[in-house]
Structure 1
Amino acid sequence: MAQTVGDFLVERLYAWGVRKIFGYPGDGINDVFGALNRAGGKIEFIQARHEEMAAFMASAYAKFTGELGVCIATSGPGASHLVTGLYDARLDHMPVLAIAGQQARTALGGHYQQEVDLPSLFKDVAGAFVQQASAPAQVRHLVDRAVRIALGERRVTAIILPNDLQEEPYHEPGRKHGTLHSGIGYSRPKTVPYDADLHRAAEILNSGRKVAMLVGAGSLGATDAVIAVADKLGAGIAKALLGKAAVPDDLPYVTGSIGLLGTEPSYTMMMECDTLLMVGSGFPYSEFLPKEGQARGVQIDLAPDMLSLRYPMEANLVGDAAETLRALLPLIEQKTEKSWRADIEKNVADWWKTLEERAIQPAVPVNPQRVTWELSPRLPDGVILTSDSGSCANWYARDLRIRRGMMASLSGGLASMGAAVPYAIAAKFAHPDRPVIALVGDGAMQMNNMAELITVAKYWRQWPDKRWIVCVFNNEDLNQVTWEQRVMEGDPKFDASQQIPNVPYHRFAELIGLKGIYVDRPQAVGPAWEDALAADRPVVLEVKTDPEVPPLPPHITFQQAMNFSRTLIKGDPREGGVIRETARQVLGAILPGGRGD
């Protein structure tokens, strides 16, 4: 049997090192699936329940392996479903290749069923490279360019294959004018700034008395270098959310997350520093960085378009985080003044006590912060953590103490709901011998994550480590938006938009062969985590949490406090003792007549 274009595609992807593809089948991509079958398991196909989830899995697979993530879908709606997950990869700078089917070449332009202008559809999300194949000999260089560009530029690329082309016999490009003869292979270069730029950056850092560092996803492979530079500078280290695992939280000068989901020590450090070193981070919220003119700045990033974007930097270094920091290290002078670092460490120690006090506050029935606080000391070595967007991300960001060897991620730039479970599935396929824990709100669970539990039920028996846990915060509320309405807009909760149905998530897990655990008492949270971690199969841990515990930023402006006051004056449908008491913890120092704790 002659090799088809579909067969060639699979062989070429295998030659590039692709071993897993996430997706969903359909007649627009049939011959590629036939080729995957004929390849005898060279590339494992992981069947998601929805193409959007497959794209999230490809994005997460790239995050947790550093390799190319690949997703596949049929024509029309299958291809369009990929887009949200692909934007997650695009905004978080992940190398992902999307392969989509298309209607027959002879039908294009004829308003045919499932005919969508896919090059136009993908043009923004896969703008680095998106091409529709028109001849068998073209497919070779399309695959080679799509993979090399995705890896080299850390971008999303897309190849569109008409279904009649997939089943044609493949032939190599001829040796004649108008043909291309591409090859396989890519090695990431060592990227380090010139010596003059390194010396300029070192001069700025050496002149600072109060140095703050902010590290992001670009620092995930630079842990030792980040710590060495911070120790020489006497700096504190704040972490953007995608950089949560960049440095361990057991270091006393690591201030934790920054921004809307951040910590008071991170905010205080940024407001008081005189020098800022930002490494591998596209952290978006400039209001949580020093005021313009307050601090001198140095930034390190592989992407030139991310430099001096959030804060006006004096030294902008294009380079790999670890390599550039190692090159900087001999040029940095050891700080002898200890008071700045001492102040940071005191703030961090006090903050951990504050978090504990908040976590054990009574709620109706369970304080959501307690869920992550109880998990933190029980985290297994090497665990991979994922979180959805929403109020659960606040507790993920603040309460979980990351140790060396752990991994953690979520939908960062896109901040999409519905990513935590597909991320956790991809994490397990990337590292099947490691435990995986996902934190999910009930809104995201209902949106699309429940269906992906069926994917877990399909595959979990092949994982050598069966520990895969999704914790559902069931508060019957789209909680993050509810609190944004109250604090940002001064509006009471709008039940019509915010209230969602109560669903027995743990029972659904049991229905499909997983383990279900239900908790509605605070004293049961810790034992429930221990039970889940000891289970012989994946677990859905459902905790009935209180929606009136406020997931608010570390610094509340006077305007936000006044907005919240107006919310109470207008009459919130959930107003009561709990909402007032929990809000007092955060707003008491600002509200007129209030007091801080």
Structure 2
Amino acid sequence: MSKHAGDLIKDILLASKVDRIWGITGDSANFITEAVCKSSIRFVHVRHEETAGFACGGEALMKDELSVCIGSCGPGALHLINGLYDANRNGAPVLCLATHIPKDEIGTQYVQETDPMKLFADCSVFCEYAQSVEQLPRIMGIAMQTAVARKGVAVIIIPGDVSSKTLASEAKEQKYVPHYCCPVIKPVEAEIKQLADILNAATKITIIGGQGCRYARSEVKELSRILKAPLGWSYRSKEYLDHNNPLAIGCVGKLGNNSVDDAIEKCEVLLLLGVGNAGGHIYNTNAKIIQIDVNGSAIGRRHWIDYGYKGEVQDTIYELLSYLKEKFDTTFAEEVCQCYKDKQKQYVANSEKKTNEEGKIMPEYLISLIDKKAPFNTCFCADTGTPLILMERYISSGDKRRFFHSAEYGSIGNALPTAMGVRSATVDRKVIALCGDGGLSMLLGDLLTVVQEKFDVKMIVFNNATYDLAAMNTMVRGKTPINTALTTTDFAKVATSLGIRARRVEQLEELEQALDELLNSTEAYLLDVRVAAVSELHQCLLNKNKNL
């Protein structure tokens, strides 16, 4: 029996346990979306394709499985790119179906013609054309397998004269699905012994863990305990390494604190675990630098190192532990950890200041209140800027909370669409989008998607009428911020007009009740809080004297 290209794609996605596709239908995508919409796969019709890219990444990271988006030829697929850049940098397994103009029109400046190979090459781990309907299943199989194996975005470019064709009835149907492989990857025994010898000989060791520690929480903490090594983390690994960790010293980089800097500067050995993309400033040390990463090309990427080992963090540490001698001198760890505890006390003190002199609510107080009231298994999605810094410093991780953001790529406007993707992948958790007013404005139209899809997403807007982090970057350089002020917007009125339950808070006495309303609501809720633009956070970052 003959089968249309759209049905081929739909059947492969169903076999791969894909239950939704994000995107906007139209033109060259119609043949595929029409087939999909006749199946159990839900087509999530967003208002802007960039939202589809972000949401797809959020869903994939939450499920740790393949997620799918689609874009029509030209501007439709092009709009996906910012969200796909973020998904790719975050290691989200995503399949992008980028439909295209007919093959015999390529190179003729045809209407909506672009060069998808060039456009998507830099934000993907795989990008290829489907040359024919006969080849389509195989290309889909390669793309899906590459996405899940390399943890990134795979793009299939599907010309219109491929998506409109039918596979001949005599052709053998090809059944491709992605295979989720879990190999053990570790250095050879000689390298493990060499690493153990270095660590056993050192007395002051600092560990920085990254995304590579995702499945190695218990192993990393045991390593830290045996070595009496202070343990810091990158932006993306807070949820794996922060909880119940007596040797914690906080986050590195922009969001970090001086205790991490001290631990790095004063140690004899700096051990980097799955931190392939940490900024070069963390190497401000004369210590021996050791890096362990499953991605061999990430070793030494930011700075020269003394020893590099390729392996999964979990597998490598599991093998390493039997060769280590437990240390009992805690002097170095106590000194550095006390510095972190003092910082934590400072954060607590900052959060106790409820309003500024003008009566505006302090963002530190708001975020600390969210931390206290949100359930233990909440998923937080933070906009790049002040919400991300506040989330890192003030939201406690617990052992069930999840954190999503764009720290690797640094895009603004990611919180709401990512929260929609996370919401689609979980039913038993609160999903809170910590939005900046600038960030929410960027994809404001997709509040309509929240309504249309009945996404139970809680949106808290830190409304300070400014691009706060941009202003801080300027202030760090001793300059006066320019072009960072925003028009004051009542987002609660906007949301209410679209059918979303919402409330605006300007007075402190209204805040707790409004937050309780948001958390107790069983539907989407937007809480717009007018917060102070200049906060204690500014002073902390300025005092740190780092180039943000």
TM-score norm. by structure 1 comes to 0.86
Q: CA deviation at 1:242?
A: 0.9
Counterpart Cα distance in 2 of 1:90 and 1:4: 30
Shift of residue 414, structure 1, vs aligned partner: 1.0
Q: Partner of 1:493 in structure 2?
A: 481
* More divergent stretch after superposition (158-167 vs 408-417): 158-167
Shift of 1:558: 9.2
Do residues 82 (structure 1) and 80 (structure 2) align?
A: yes
Distance 1:527 1:253, change over 3 A: farther
Q: CA deviation at 1:504?
A: 0.9
Give the equivalent residue in structure 1 for 2:428. 433
Provide the rounded CA distance (Å) in 2 between the counterparts of 1:185 and 1:93.
Answer: 16
2:507 to 481, 503, 521: 521
Which residues of 2 match residues 552-571 of structure 1 at below 5 A?
Answer: 552=538
**2:446 alignment partner, SS class:** helix
Displacement after TM superposition at 1:340 (Å): 2.1
| Shift in alpha-carbon separation, 1:560–1:247, aligned structure 2, 3 A | closer
1:553 & 1:305 partners in 2: Cα distance? 38
Instruction: Work out whether residues 214 and 240 of structure 1, in 8 Å CA contact, stay in contact via their aligned partners in 2.
Output: yes
Q: Equivalent of 1:483, from 464, 467, 472?
A: 472
Please say which of residues 507-516 and 64-73 is displaced more in the overlay.
Answer: 507-516
- Work out the CA distance in 1 between the residues paired with 2:11 and 2:279: 44
CA contact (8 A) 1:298 1:313 kept: yes
**Paired position in structure 2 for 1:149:** 146
Which structure 2 residue ranges, 5 or more long, are not aligned?
none
Tell me how far 1:304 sits from its aligned partner: 1.0
Q: Which residue of 2 aligns with 1:310?
A: 302
The residue type paired with residue 81 of structure 1 is H
Give the deviation of 1:173 after TM superposition. Answer: 9.5
Residue 521 of structure 1 deviates from its aligned partner by 3.1
Give yes or no for contact 1:260–1:553 (8 Å, CA) kept in 2.
no
CA distance in 2, matches of 1:411, 1:560: 20
Residue 367 of structure 2 corresponds to 372
- 1:62-115 residue CA offsets vs partner (Å, 9 max, x unmatched): 222211222111111001111111111222233222101112233333322112
Divergent runs of 4+, >6 A: 172-175, 557-561
In the alignment, is residue 381 of structure 1 matched against residue 376 of structure 2? yes
Once the two structures are superposed, the pairs formed by residues 387-426 of structure 1 within 5 Å of their partners are: 387-426=382-421
- TM-superposed CA distance for 1:56, in Å, is 1.0
CA shift, 1:347, in A, is 2.1
Give the conservation status (yes or no) of the 8 Å contact 2:187–2:309: yes
Equivalent pair of 2:28/2:100 in contact (CA under 8 Å) = yes
- Alignment partner, residue 46 of structure 2: 48
1:205-239 superposed Cα distances (whole Å, 9 cap, x missing partner): 22221221111222122111111111111112111
Letter in 2 for 1:350: D
Letter aligned with residue 135 of structure 2: Q
**8 Å contact kept, 1:259–1:553:** no
In structure 2, give the amino acid aligned to 1:369.
Answer: E
The answer for the alignment partner of 1:134 in structure 2 is 131
Task: State the alpha-carbon separation in 1 of the partners of residues 509 and 304 from structure 2.
Answer: 49
Please state if 1:265 is matched with 2:259: yes
Structure 1 counterpart of 2:66? 68
Q: Taking structure 1 as reference, are residues 377 and 289 closer, same or farther at Cα in structure 2, changes over 3 Å only?
A: farther
Aligned partner of 1:502 in structure 2 is 488
Judging changes above 3 Å, is the alpha-carbon distance between structure 1 residues 215 and 554 closer, same or farther for their aligned structure 2 residues? farther
Would you say 1:512 and 2:512 are equivalent positions? no
Aligned to 1:295: 287
- Answer yes or no: is the 8 Å Cα contact 2:234–2:278 preserved in 1: no
Aligned residues: 544
Whether the aligned pair in 2 keeps the contact of 1:137 and 1:173 (CA below 8 Å) is no
Conserved? CA contact 1:54–1:422, under 8 Å: yes
- Using the alignment, how far apart are the partners of 1:305 and 1:108 within structure 2? 35
CA-atom RMSD in angstroms? 2.4
SS in 1 for 2:3: coil
Pairing partner for 1:474 from 439, 447, 463: 463
Report the alpha carbon displacement of residue 408 of structure 1 after superposing the two structures with TM: 0.6
Trace 1:342-353 onto structure 2 (pairs within 5 A): 342-353=334-345
2:265 counterpart SS class: helix
Q: The residue matched to 1:121 in structure 2 has which SS?
A: helix
Matching residue of 1:545: 531
- Superposed, which structure 2 residues align to 1:98-109 within 5 Å? 98-109=96-107
| Residues 384-403 of structure 1: per-residue CA shift (max 9 Å, x gap) | 11111112221111111110
Letter in 2 for 1:509: A
Distance 1:357 1:263 in 2: 16
Q: 1:419 offset after TM fit, Å?
A: 0.7
Shift of 1:22: 1.4
Which aligned pairs between 1:183-222 and structure 2 lie closer than 5 A? 183-186=176-179, 187-222=181-216
- SS, match of residue 137 in structure 2: helix
- In the alignment, the residues of structure 1 paired with residue 510 and residue 324 of structure 2 have an alpha-carbon distance, to the nearest angstrom, of 50
Cα separation, 2, equivalents of 1:523 and 1:350: 30
Give unpaired runs (5+ residues) of structure 1.
564-597
Structure 1 position 130, deviation (Å): 1.5
Q: 1:356 to 1:523 in 2, by over 3 A?
A: farther
Report if aligned partners of 2:140, 2:176 keep a CA contact under 8 Å in 1. no
Q: How does 1:171-190 map to 2 (within 5 A)?
A: 171=168, 183-186=176-179, 187-190=181-184
* Pairwise CA distance, 1:557: 7.2
How far apart are 1:371 and its partner, in Å?
1.4
Structure 1 CA distance for aligned equivalents of residues 261 and 513 of structure 2: 34
